[in-house]
Structure 1
C-alpha cells in the first residue's frame, strides 16, 4: 500500500491555535468529500486517514492510502489546485465545451490507470493534475462542496487565509498554495440553479387540470411519471376557463415542458419543478390532436428557413 499526504492549514487571527470546532468539522466534511469525489472520477480506490492536527495556525494533516503512489499524489495535487484557483462561472462553459471536458476526463482516466506500469517523465504528473483539475473545475458535486467549504469560512472571521499543501512525506516541506480571506467569496456559488431541460414536443396526459382562473399546479403523466407543473400558457388557460377546451379521461396535451433543476447541498442535480410555457395541441379522450390558439399561430408564422414561393 502507498500513501500521500495533504496538509490543510488554517491561518488564524493573532497567531491563534484554536478555532470553532463546528466550523472546522463542517470544512473537513466538505474537503474530504471532494477528495473522494476526485478519486471516484479517476476510478482510483483510496482511504483517507487523519493525523493529529499541528499548530502554526491550525493544520489538519491527512494521508491518502491506496495501491499506487503516483495516483494518490495526483489526487492530492488536484485537490490543492481546485481549492486554490478561482473557479470559472458555469455560464461561461458552452454545451460543446462541457462535452469536450467529459471526453478529456475519460482520456485522462485511462492515462491515470496506466500510471502503475509506466515510467512517468519529470513534470508529467503536474501536467496531468492541471488537466484533470481544469476538466473537473465545474463538476456540480465538486463546485458545490467547494462552495460549502468557503461559505463556512466567509462567516467565520477568525480565519484570515487557508493553504493546501500536498506532501510526499509527513515531514517534507512543500509550497503552500494560499487563498486569502479577501477572495473566499470567489469560490462561493451565488445560485444553485441550473439551466432548465427543455422538451419542445412533450406529451402530457392530464389527470388534474385547473379549470378556473387560478395559479394552482396542474398534474399529469409525463414519460410514465406523475408530475405537477405550472401552466404558463395564458391563451390556453383562457380557453380552458371559457370551456373551449374540455377534459376527460385520457386527455393529452402536446407542449413545451421546462424541467427546472438545481444543485442540492451534496452537489447532486435535483428537479425543482416543471413549467409549461406553451401548449400547441390537445387531444380530448384519445381523439386526434387539435391545434390550440398558440399552435395555429405558430403554423401561420412564416418559416425563416423556407425559401419563398415563386
Structure 2
C-alpha cells in the first residue's frame, strides 16, 4: 500500500541561486524583482484555490544564495493545515514546467508526489543532488511524520484535495498572470550574468528535505514569454452603432458604440469601405452594422490583459430604416456557414445510420 508522503506537511520553499563564481552575494535589484514575482505567483495560486495565505521570508542562507519562503493558511477550516503545502507544490510544478502542458504537468507533479512510494522518491531525489547522502538518517523521522499525517487525513480528505488540485490545475493552463509572472522571474535571472542555475527545494516545518528540482540557465528561455501580444478575440454578429465614419481613403479610425461603450476601430473590410467611399451607404443617426469584430490584446508586466485596439474584419450587414441590408461578403460568409452546418449534419447522419444487411 502506498504511503502518504510528508509533502502534504511541507511548509517552506527554498529558492537556491547557484553562481558561476561560487560567491554568496546577489545583486539587490535582481533579488528584489525575482522575490516580487514569486510572491505574486504564490498569491495568484492561492487565489485560484480560493484560499488566503500568509507568506513569510526566513533569514537568507548562503551556499550560492538561498531565499526561503514559508507559506501558511490564514483560515481555520477543514483541510486548512495542508493548503500551504498544496500551494507550495503547485508553484514548484509551475516553476519547473515549460510553457506547454502546464495543467497536465502541474497535476502530475502534485498528485504523484502525494501518492508515490517513499522509497522511489528517495531514489529519484538521489539523482538530483548530493545533499541527499544523509537522507537515510532521516527515514525514521519521516516514518513518524507519515504515521502522524495519515492519522490526521483520511482518504476522503485526500480525494477532496486531489479533486481540488486537478480542477485548479486546469485553470492554471490559461492563467496569463501565472505565465507572465513566471516569465518575469526567469527573464530577470537570464539577464543576470553570474547565475548558473536555480533550484527549488521543499522542506517541512522541521527542515526535513522533501523535494528538489534544478533548472539550468540554458533552459531559462523555455519559460520566458517572448511577446506580450496574446491571441486576439474574434466576435461574430457584433453590433456597432456608427458615431463617426471615415469617408475618405487613409489609415484613419472610425468611432462607434459597442455594448454601450464608445470604441475607436479600424475598418478592415475593403468591400464596405468601397461602398462608403462611392457614396452607396448613407449614414444617419443610429446607423448600425452587424460584423465580425476582432479585439486585439496584450499582457502588461503584471500579467493583466489590456485591450490594444479594435478591428472590423468583415461587415455582414447594415441597417436602413431598421431593415438589414446584407453585403456580398456577408452573404458569402453566411452560405459558407450553412454549407459547413449541412456537412456536419451529413456526417452525423452517416455515423448514426444503421445500414441493412444485403
Please confirm whether the aligned pair reaches a TM-score higher than 0.5, indicating the same fold: yes
Match of 2:198 in 1: 162
Report whether the alignment pairs 1:283 with 2:290.
Answer: no
Gaps of 5+ in 2: 1-8, 108-149, 344-358
SS class of match (1:40): helix
> 1:58 deviation in Å?
0.4
Higher mean alpha-carbon deviation, 127-136 vs 115-124, is at 115-124
Q: Deviations over 1:190-229 (max 9, x none)?
A: 2233322222111110001111011111110011111111
Cα distance change on mapping 1:10 and 1:59 into 2, 3 Å: same
Cα distance change on mapping 1:218 and 1:116 into 2, 3 Å: farther
Match of 1:65 in 2: 72
TM-score, normalised by the number of residues in structure 2: 0.71
2:271 to 215, 219, 235: 235
> 1:131 deviation in Å?
4.3
Higher mean alpha-carbon deviation, 194-203 vs 126-135, is at 126-135
Does the aligned pair in 2 maintain the 1:282–1:290 contact within 8 Å?
yes
Q: Deviations over 1:10-29 (max 9, x none)?
A: 11121111111111111100
Cα distance change on mapping 1:133 and 1:163 into 2, 3 Å: farther
Higher mean alpha-carbon deviation, 196-205 vs 140-149, is at 196-205
> 1:163 deviation in Å?
0.9
Report whether the alignment pairs 1:209 with 2:245.
Answer: yes
Q: Distance in 1 between matches of 2:337 and 2:256?
A: 32
Q: Distance in 1 between matches of 2:95 and 2:333?
A: 49
Cα distance change on mapping 1:243 and 1:117 into 2, 3 Å: farther
Match of 1:108 in 2: none
**Superposed, which structure 2 residues align to 1:135-174 within 5 Å?**
135=170, 136-169=172-205, 171-174=207-210
Q: Distance in 1 between matches of 2:156 and 2:324?
A: 65
Structure 1 or 2, whichever has the larger Rg, is 2
Higher helix proportion, which one? 2
> 1:267 deviation in Å?
1.8
Q: Deviations over 1:18-49 (max 9, x none)?
A: 11111111110011111111111112221101
Does the aligned pair in 2 maintain the 1:236–1:293 contact within 8 Å?
no
SS class of match (1:235): helix
SS class of match (2:285): coil
SS class of match (2:294): strand
Match of 2:218 in 1: 182
**Superposed, which structure 2 residues align to 1:105-116 within 5 Å?**
none
Gaps of 5+ in 1: 102-114
Does the aligned pair in 2 maintain the 1:216–1:230 contact within 8 Å?
yes
2:40 to 33, 40, 47: 33
Q: Distance in 2 between matches of 1:242 and 1:64?
A: 66
> 1:134 deviation in Å?
4.6
Match of 1:74 in 2: 86
Q: Distance in 2 between matches of 1:272 and 1:289?
A: 30
Match of 1:8 in 2: 15
Cα distance change on mapping 1:11 and 1:123 into 2, 3 Å: farther
SS class of match (2:280): coil
Q: Distance in 2 between matches of 1:274 and 1:75?
A: 38
Match of 2:283 in 1: 247
2:95 to 48, 62, 83: 83
SS class of match (1:33): helix
